[in-house]
Amino acid sequence: MPEDLSDALAEAPLEIREMWADLTPMARWEWVRWVQVTRNPETRRRRVLASISKMNSGKRRPCCFDLSSCTDPDLARSGKLREPS
């Protein structure tokens, strides 16, 4: 679990912490990957905040992101392998 997401969850209202505990491992994994997939620190900060906000409104999974592009760091957002650097 990334420290920034963990800290945000620890500070979140009890209902959100209970929801997190009730999520399936796959759903938790999706939240973690959604936060970690970005390299931009500001985008990551916004995603941590958005995660808490979305869970607060009842969402159990992040929406609208391509799981295949964030499961393997060697894949570009297009799903194609990146050129070796």
Mean pLDDT of the chain: 83
Q: What is the mean pLDDT of residues 48-77?
A: 75
For residue 63, give its domain range.
3-69
Q: How many domains does the chain have?
A: 1
Q: What is the mean pLDDT of residues 9-28?
A: 95
- Which residues, in sequence order, are CB contacts of 49 under 8 Å at separation 6+? 8
Q: What is the pLDDT of residue 68?
A: 56
At residue 85 the predicted structure's pLDDT band, cuts being 50, 70 and 90, is low
Examine residue 81 and state whether it is found in any structural domain, yes or no.
Answer: no
Examine residue 26 and state whether it is found in any structural domain, yes or no.
Answer: yes
Res 35 pLDDT > 80 = yes
At residue 43 the predicted structure's pLDDT band, cuts being 50, 70 and 90, is very high
Report the alpha-carbon distance of residue 43 to residue 24 in Å, rounded: 25
Report the alpha-carbon distance of residue 56 to residue 62 in Å, rounded: 12
Examine residue 42 and state whether it is found in any structural domain, yes or no.
Answer: yes
Examine residue 75 and state whether it is found in any structural domain, yes or no.
Answer: no
Q: What is the pLDDT of residue 73?
A: 52
